[in-house]
Structure 1
Amino acid sequence: MELSERRGRGPDGRGRLGSWLVAVSAVALGPTACSPEPSPPVDTACVSLSPGTAPIRRMTRFEYDRTVHDLLGDETQPARSFAPEEEVLGFNNQAAALGVTQSLAEQYMKAAEKLAAQAAQHLTRLMPGCDPTRPEADACVERWIRDFGRRAFRRPLDADEVKRFATLFDWGRDDYGGVIGVELIIQAMLQSPHFLYRVELGMPDPVAQGVVQLSHYEIASRLSYLLWSSMPDDALLDDAEAGRLGTPEEIRVAAERMLHDPRAREAVLEFHRQWLELKHVDLMTKDQKTYPAYDSALRPLWMAETEAFVEHVVFDEPGGSLTTLLTAPFSFMNAELAAFYGVSGPTGTAFERVELDPAHRAGVLTHASVLATQSKPNQSSPIHRGKFVRERLLCDLIPPPPANLPITVPEVQLGVTTRERFAQHREDTVCSGCHALMDPIGYTFEHYDGIGQWRDLDQGLPVDATGNISRTEANGSFDGAIELSTHLARSAQVRACVVSQWFRYGYGRAEKEEDQCSLDQLGDTFRRSGHSIQALLVGLTQTDAFRYRRQGGEP
């Protein structure tokens, strides 16, 4: 379902999010390669129960490592060696792309064997009060199978499953001893689809045809992987067992508890790493002749700054709003990073809060992690920076250039500014349609060079950082990134885009027509909270799309 075709229910015939949703697909006023002809919004009332289809979800590498940490106490992060996930919509957790190849299955097997062997070395921690090497251990091993299985599968094991795992233990014990029997159980559980996937069978809703209501245990898993990127804890599983995750209010109480757990911080950071495309920080290279201040040791400092800033804004700053994320005139840095930025204050290696010159730095878009990532090795890139804003904050996807079009980056020229060199893209009729959507946004960042340092001059000439956004509902002209960030923070289109980005990441899929009511509800929650990120996270647990799924259909 195209964004432009979503249903609405506002007084103008659109949903609360409908105005920008139409704009996202109607990028231009006339048809070009980058501006498809918009479809008119469909005016129809929301139904009372309207979830989208939710495909089965496999753990990502990030979720796998966090899950085996919480399940076994493992610190080795074995999934770092797994095959990387395919990105869809800018995220690596989209269910439709999370298949299992033969190679990945073998990696799961090897990891399970290694994790089981390591866990079996600490039986008193793994199986307190139970010694599997004793002849009379059958009863306590069966109790452990039930307890460990509930945690690994995130639901109670049925009698047949308990019997199969007990039989597996017997095989291992009879041939090699009780410790090997335990290892075999762990190996088998860690390779089971019930561990690797979030299986959601649910029960058909008694009223809404074709709709499945998730079980309490399935809701527990949705909560834990949304808010912790890991398995439910015992308290959440106990809530599920007691039937305390059936109503929106019960789910809200659980979600608010979970957001106070330290695990929520790392999960929220992972969303921002992907949303802000920070994975590229570790991969970037820079020309040290062009940027003598650059050193590869800066890259982890750039990441640490952005992560500390995001964590503080979301969890520690009163309100924890999107506005603060985009416009706050403070950040976190140590002495080395402060010297890079030309900021005074920190004197040691520890990161601390630093107040910034609000004319030069404000919000996450002026962090070196973002600016350097969206640049070339030897120059800034208005194209990459503009495309980043367009796609990640305005939810306006730019199509790739034609396959037969040669792509060349303007060479650095003495006495010619970056803006002047990149202007040629807009003079070429083949290129101008798309570049008109990106370059004018990117120009507003020209006070920051290719490693994110402030500059007043480019090639000895004054920087021109004026730019604009066009062909959206966030149109405007700006002089510099601070004005741009302030405008973006106030934009209904940006706020709605952030809702959609969290929807995609949190639910592991793209929006569908059936999700419009859930999107409207999320947008309303976000607005009424003053655009609090935590309120949006809780809101994600309150929708039809979270508590139900539609049977059949395309993922």
Structure 2
Amino acid sequence: MITKRLFIIPFVLLSVISGCGDYGSRDALSEPEPVGGPPLLRRLTDSQYHATVADIFGSDVPVVARFGRALRSDGLISVGTGEAGISPFSLEQYDSAARGVADYILAAERRDKYLSCAPENVSEFDENCATDFVKKYGEKLFRRPLSDAQIARYVDAVKQGSAHLGDFYAGLKYGLVGLMTAPEFTFRIERVDQDSNGVRQLDAYSKATRLSYFLTNSTPDQELLRAAKDGELDTPSGVEVQVRRLQSSDKFELAVRAFFTDMLEFDLFDDLAKDSEIYPAFNSKVAADAQEQTLRTITYQLLERHGDYRDLFTTRETFLTRALGVVYRLPVPSRSGWEKTEFPIESGRAGIQTHVSFLGLHSHPGRSSPTLRGAAIREVFLCQEVPDPPPDVDFSAIDDPEGNPMPTARDRLWAHNSQAACAGCHKIMDPPGFALENFDGLGSWRQLENGAEIDASGSLDGLDFSKPSEFGVALSQHSETPRCLAEKMYRFAVGRDTVWYERSYMDYLIAKFEEHNYRVPELMRTIALSKNFFAIAAHQEHIAELADRSE
């Protein structure tokens, strides 16, 4: 796999490996023939579920449910959605959510908004009205027209519910709950077509679904479903029309937010705890605002300013609330809401890696952690895998600094690293972690630790720095920073890890990213328009051919 680079491989060797997928004379800016992967069955994420319900029924429709912890695989929940099962608890939550939606939209005071028909007698079953309802919402929920057998099944469910409860609208609720708890809704089930040349790819409605969730984080709208029905998504020009339309919509920002929420592991905030005596400023509002601050900064830099992705690690522009101002020790005049601001040079902050959302998340409840932060820098921003520590490591010098003659984390970790089993890992993790030691376990600035001056200097794979802001420059200039983003974006889009035979495509994607000055919307457009995006894996003998051709 090209996305997992073990920390023990020297950086120079990593650079050689990452560039070896050119297949000889191939033009780096010419898309290689697609390899593809299997058709997937991907569970909707929580945010996708909520967005889908809002787009189908309205943003005012409540969804009261928690669907269980998401599985993170290969660094992304979007990959884990294709690997996770579904627990009995989650099934109960889907049923509860569906019942809540059905009760809301079919309430007497609102049902006229959602129904284009009404029964002559509310106590009797109306087949025509039930069929109209099932067809209309079935296509929206299943993201494709229902088959005759499916229509008959859910109309029959409405009939049975009406007969059992003596109320046609109660029967409609029964049918709608059935639609919303069906695998065709809760999972994105991909189906495959084969063209006249025998090439396998997603069918038109699966293309529409993959496009929509990648570029809007929600279900296909009526225009996209129409394009699928009319065969427009089977042509490059038809796909391009829809990609441009979706990227120009307001919902494109939601897709960018969804990707960075996943990449930055913001789901871990659900379990984040801080010692209230050490960090009294931390609370649930600060945790929520910290995530929103980073997402606002990202969308401002990447969408509003159409900026270079690498500048996220050096920018001092950001947005704050008064609650965050307490942590950052910066004045925020507004009592409520957000204010655009800029970190002062003397604050020592530059880049999203100096935000509370990163610093507080990758720390212990009562202290900072160069190791956790350094590992997160490697894994989140550089796609370098850092293994877990061996089970018999002695953490006493790190965990109990009281009365320790080594006052700073750098001193204590230096002693800790004398253990042979630890030295290799910490040599990679600690330098980027030390660069952020001027920030405590919540993310507030400090100059001293236990009365000793903090040394934030170091080197990131040959890029030297002496303070946090210079570390941001080093991170922005690291060759793996944009490569990692491109790889994660592709995996996010297709819902699986890349395979070795796709290294040529990844080189192409990264070259296009560079050509477009590392602008994320252009990267997403390149992915959405590429043949690889819809490709389904060829037979094993063809994979073997590709392998032979690459030798």
TM-score, length basis structure 1: 0.86
Deviation readout 1:404-450 (Å, 9 max, x if unpaired)? 44544332346712211222222111111111110111111122121
State the alpha-carbon separation in 2 of the partners of residues 235 and 102 from structure 1.
Answer: 36
| Candidates 97, 113, 119, aligned match of 2:83 | 97
Please tell me whether residue 71 in structure 1 is matched to residue 56 in structure 2.
yes
Q: Which residue of 1 aligns with 2:244?
A: 256
Separation in 1 of the partners of 2:232 and 2:18?
A: 43
Task: Tell me, yes or no, if the aligned pair for 1:132 and 1:179 is still in contact at 8 Å.
Answer: no
Which secondary structure does the structure 1 equivalent of 2:410 belong to? helix
Aligned to 1:518: 505
SS where residue 373 of structure 1 aligns? coil
| 1:174 aligned to which of 151, 163, 167 | 163
Number of equivalences: 522
**Does the C-alpha gap of structure 1 residues 484 and 54 become closer, same or farther in structure 2, counting only changes over 3 Å?**
farther
One-letter code aligned to 2:137: F
- Asked if 2 retains the 8 angstrom alpha-carbon contact of 1:61 and 1:79, the reply is no
Aligned-residue offset at 1:505? 2.0
Q: Which moved more, 1:461-470 or 1:518-527?
A: 518-527
Q: Map 1:210-359 to 2 at 5 A.
A: 211-291=199-279, 293-294=281-282, 297-317=285-305, 319-344=306-331, 346-358=333-345
- CA–CA distance in 1 between the matches of 2:33 and 2:129? 48
| Contiguous gaps of at least 5 residues in structure 1 | 4-20
* C-alpha distance in 1 between matches for 2:283 and 2:322: 15
Q: Does 1:199 align with 2:186?
A: no
Equivalent residue number for residue 139 of structure 1? 128
Against the structure 1 CA distance between its residues 552 and 54, is the aligned structure 2 distance closer, same or farther, given a 3 Å change threshold?
farther
Is 2:70 the counterpart of 1:85?
yes
Answering whether residue 510 of structure 2 is matched by residue 529 of structure 1, we say no
Matched, 1:449 2:440: yes
Residue identity opposite 1:203 in structure 2: D
Partners of 1:39 and 1:312 lie apart in 2 by 31
Secondary structure of 1:300's aligned partner: helix
Structure 2 matches for 1:416-431, cutoff 5 A?
416-431=407-422
Q: Which residue of 1 aligns with 2:148?
A: 159
Q: Look up the equivalent residue of 2:53 and give its one-letter code.
A: V
Query: Counterpart in 1 of 2:99?
Result: 113
Which moved further from structure 2: 425-434 or 69-78?
Answer: 69-78
Can you list the C-alpha shifts for 1:252-291, whole angstroms capped at 9, x where unaligned?
3322322333333233223222322233335333334434
Alignment-mate amino acid for residue 73 of structure 2: V
Q: 1:171 and 1:361, CA in 2 relative to 1: closer, same or farther beyond 3 A? A: same
Q: Which amino acid aligns with 2:132?
A: R
**2:548 — aligned with what?**
none
1:374, 1:381 within 8 Å by CA — same for their partners in 2?
yes
Cα RMSD, aligned residues only: 2.9
Distance 1:501 1:269 in 2: 14
Q: Distance in 1 between matches of 2:118 and 2:371?
A: 62
Which residue pairs with 1:466 in the alignment? 457
Aligned to 1:17: none
Deviation at 1:403, TM superposition (A): 3.0
Measured in 2, the distance between the counterparts of 1:337 and 1:39 equals 39
Q: 1: distance between equivalents of 2:393 and 2:318?
A: 41
Q: Once the two structures are aligned, what percentage of the paired residues are identical?
A: 26
In 1, the alpha carbon distance for the partners of 2:57 and 2:180 equals 11
Q: In the alignment, residue 78 of structure 2 is paired with which amino acid? A: N
Asked if 1 retains the 8 angstrom alpha-carbon contact of 2:39 and 2:202, the reply is: no
Q: What is the aligned partner in structure 1 of residue 23 from structure 2?
A: 44
Counterpart check, 1:497 vs 2:484: yes
Map 1:23-34 → 2, pairs under 5 A: 24-25=5-6, 27-29=8-10
Task: Provide the C-alpha distance between the structure 1 equivalents of 2:295 and 2:343, rounded to a whole number of angstroms.
Answer: 17
What is the deviation of 1:522?
2.2
Within 1, Cα distance between the matches of 2:120 and 2:216? Answer: 32
Q: Secondary structure at the match of 2:493?
A: helix
- How far does residue 515 in structure 1 lie from its aligned partner after superposition? 2.8
Closer, same or farther: CA 277–116 of 1 in aligned 2, 3 Å: same
- Superposition TM-score, scaled by structure 2 size: 0.86
Paired position in structure 2 for 1:150:
139
| Equivalent-residue separation in structure 2 for 1:106 and 1:286 (angstroms) | 32
> 1:368-419 CA distances to partner (integer Å, 9 max, x unpaired)?
1211111122221110110001111111101112234454433234671221
Give the deviation of 1:235 after TM superposition. Answer: 1.7
